[in-house]
Amino acid sequence: MDIKLIDHHMAKGSIYPFNTNHLYDYILANNGLFIRAENRAFSIVSLLKTCDVVGLVEIQESFKFKLPPVPMAISNTIFQKAKLSLPDELLLHLNYNKNTWNLTEPLQQQSPTSIKWKSADFDEFDFDIELHSHGHLIAYFSATDNKDETGLAIYAVIGQLEEMPQISVRVGIYGQHFAYIPADPVFELEEGIKDKFYDTTSYFIRSNNSAYSYPHREL
């Protein structure tokens, strides 16, 4: 029996439930081409390209985080660890297990501009959230990050650690597509930490089903 890892749908009415055996789905709708993916931590529908297709229904982008947000105490620890690592970058992983968020620091070779794995047997996709720091620089995802972030996961970057700390969060879909999301459904943050999401797009809307609808932005 053939295993279908990627599926394709046309939005003619209600959207088919996501098959968790798939990596992701493409959905052609009245208002564009969308990609849909889901795992235990989140579900997302994100716009790839706008277009007008007569006869199909319109759908909207959405993001739903299924886990509790990372507690403020852990978020504070993340920023503290990153500051202690200055001027080097730091990579951290977050896993949700047994109703608890666990923060781990993989073995890594650090520098002010990069991070390299030091453990050959490390499972690079064994996390719900991957976060790294950019030291004194702004919280942005680099071209190197785009190449490295190839899982279905939430990715975050923090920066300007000794000035006005900031964070940028996005969903990565197997390196095929990235979509920025607000930080606050994922992280509880101290007041004063700047969410870069609001620098690049208009404010998100919380819908009735507790998903986040947000404007599309090309990366």
- Total Cβ atoms within 10 A of residue 126: 11
CA distances from 164 to 72, 79, 144, 145 (A): 17, 12, 24, 22
Angle made by CA atoms 8, 171, 156, in degrees to the nearest 5: 170
Could you tell me where in the chain the CATH 3.40.140 domains are found? 72-201
| Burial tier of 17 (Cβ tally within 10 Å: 0-12, 13-18, 19+) | exposed
Domain formed by 72-201, architecture? 3-Layer(aba) Sandwich (3.40)
pLDDT given at position 119: 57
pTM of the model: 0.86
Pairing of strands 6-10, 24-29: parallel
Instruction: Tell me the two tokens of residue 86.
Output: 């200055």
Residue 123 parent element (H or E)? none
- How far apart CA 58 and CA 151 sit, in angstroms, is 28
pLDDT given at position 187: 97
pLDDT given at position 118: 63
pLDDT by 10s per residue, the chain, length 219:
456 788 888 988 776 677 777 899 999 999 999 999 999 999 999 999 999 999 999 998 999 999 999 999 999 999 999 999 999 999 999 999 999 999 999 888 888 888 887 655 555 567 999 999 999 999 999 999 999 999 999 999 999 999 899 999 999 999 989 999 999 999 999 999 999 887 654 344 333 333 444 444 433
pLDDT given at position 67: 96
- How far apart CA 106 and CA 92 sit, in angstroms, is 7
pLDDT given at position 188: 96
